[in-house]
Amino acid sequence: MTVHDIWFQGLSAPVRCVDCDDLVTGLAGYVPCWPFTVKRTVPAEYGPEVPCAVLAFNGTAWLIQSPHTTEPRIHKTQVNVICDLLSILASALIAQSPDRLCFHAAAVEGDGGLTLFPALRRAGKSTLSVALMARGARLFTDDYLLVDRGPSGALIGHATGIAARLRLPLPEGLPPEVLTFVGANPGPENKQYRYVGGQTVAAHGMVAPIRSIVLLDRADDGPTTLSEVPSGDVLAALAKQNFSRGLPAGEALSALITLTQTAPAVRLTYSDVGEAADLVMSGLDHLLPAPRQDVQFPHPGPHPDRSALDFMRAYQRTRFAVLYPAGDVWVGASCDGERMLQFDAIAAHVLDLLEEAISPSDLIDLLADALPDVERSALRDTVTDLLRRFLRVGFIARAT
């Protein structure tokens, strides 16, 4: 039995490989710019660290298990087991940095900073990233991006040092220069994936500010266009693709709002990858950041009142009911810090009425007088549902 411990730069625990000599030898093809060291070892020399992953090869298939997964997994190809390993390493980095945001996204560096492509299913973020690499942009990631706040308050992305991964077969109609770039920078591949490296992969740990956000909308045909994106849609997309685990929801939401203010967003609709890459390279310079407004949400507090809504008792808005307007929606964070929340205009108005203590029955009477065209039973149902939701997330409490 041959055992190698692989220590990746920035990780506090190794990857332990058992009888995986070929995998260890070929690992640099997947992580061309993420430094690592390999040490052959024996059980008597194991350190106190729990490996972040253990891989074992039996001559036919690879077994991988990790504290960051729920159960061991088996893969029949080396490419697939490394894909799984890289996902586990991302989880390990996130676990070591609970105060960071982490986006499921691609990011490339051009003049002035990073362009972020939040992951949307089959939107082509990896293919577009490779097309941008072929035009000289530097790849920070095509999968996940760890993010910190910089000294000026802008958000800073950290490069992974991992090669881009394209799904096979390659899309039809790729520009010749992209195909040439892919052929000139070959990485490992199987029937499902092909890795693409090259000198335009940024070194692991390199940092750059996030300059712009591009939501991708890939179509079967039609022109390549850039359009405005409602701020609520941007926040929703970023919140959905953020998988940091340690930040309370209010802190994460505050950082996301900062990102939408410092990195303007557009929607890129495209069918032609070459045209899309050209537009990204030349068409984002006109974007200007929004006026900066720091938004702070309260630190998590005690769990909200779990008792049933009492129509005869007075309730009042709590200090946790801080909302930020994002286009047609208002966003906030639950009082326990576990969830980001989204409300419509009706909910925001009802919260405003709850600045003063009022019972649900009196609140419904007040709204019924103001909205005589709304059927009372429907109004009662809507208000009741809202108040129960507010109670569950700690936005209202019984008045004392």
- 160-177: pLDDT as tens digits: 999 999 999 998 889 999
- Complete domains list, the chain, with CATH: 3-95 (no CATH), 98-282 (3.40.50), 315-398 (1.10.10)
Other Cβ atoms closer than 10 A to 326:
19
Nearest-angstrom CA–CA distance, 158 and 206:
6
Q: Which residues of 348-380 are buried (b: 16+ CB within 10 A; e: fewer)?
A: eebbeebeebbebeebbeebeeeeeeeeeeebb
Q: What is the DSSP letter of 290?
A: P
* Both tokens assigned to 51: 């490996």
| Ramachandran area for residue 52 (φ above 0: left; ψ -120 to 50: alpha; else beta) | alpha
Q: What is the pLDDT of residues 32-88, one digit of tens each?
A: 999 999 999 887 778 888 999 999 999 999 999 999 999 999 999 999 999 999 999
Look up the pTM and report it: 0.89
> What is the distance between the alpha carbons of residues 360 and 396, in angstroms, rounded to a whole number?
11
Along the 400 residues of the chain, how does pLDDT read in single tens digits? 899 999 999 999 999 999 999 999 999 999 999 999 999 988 777 888 899 999 999 999 999 999 999 999 999 999 999 999 999 999 999 999 888 899 999 999 987 799 999 987 778 999 999 999 999 999 999 999 999 988 777 899 999 999 999 999 998 889 999 999 999 999 999 999 999 998 999 999 999 999 999 999 998 889 999 998 888 889 888 988 888 877 899 999 999 999 988 888 999 999 999 999 999 988 676 676 666 777 899 999 887 777 899 999 999 999 999 999 988 899 999 999 999 999 999 999 999 999 999 999 999 999 999 998 999 999 999 999 999 999 999 999 999 8
Q: Where are the beta strands (DSSP E) in 87-224?
A: 101-110, 113-118, 138-141, 144-149, 155-158, 164-167, 186-189, 193-196, 207-218
Token pair recorded at residue 151: 């000294």
CA 5 to CA 285: how far, in whole Å? 46
Q: Beta-carbon neighbour count of residue 89 at 10 Å?
A: 23
Quick one: tokens of 109?
A: 């560096």
How many helices and strands in the chain, by DSSP H and E? 10, 22
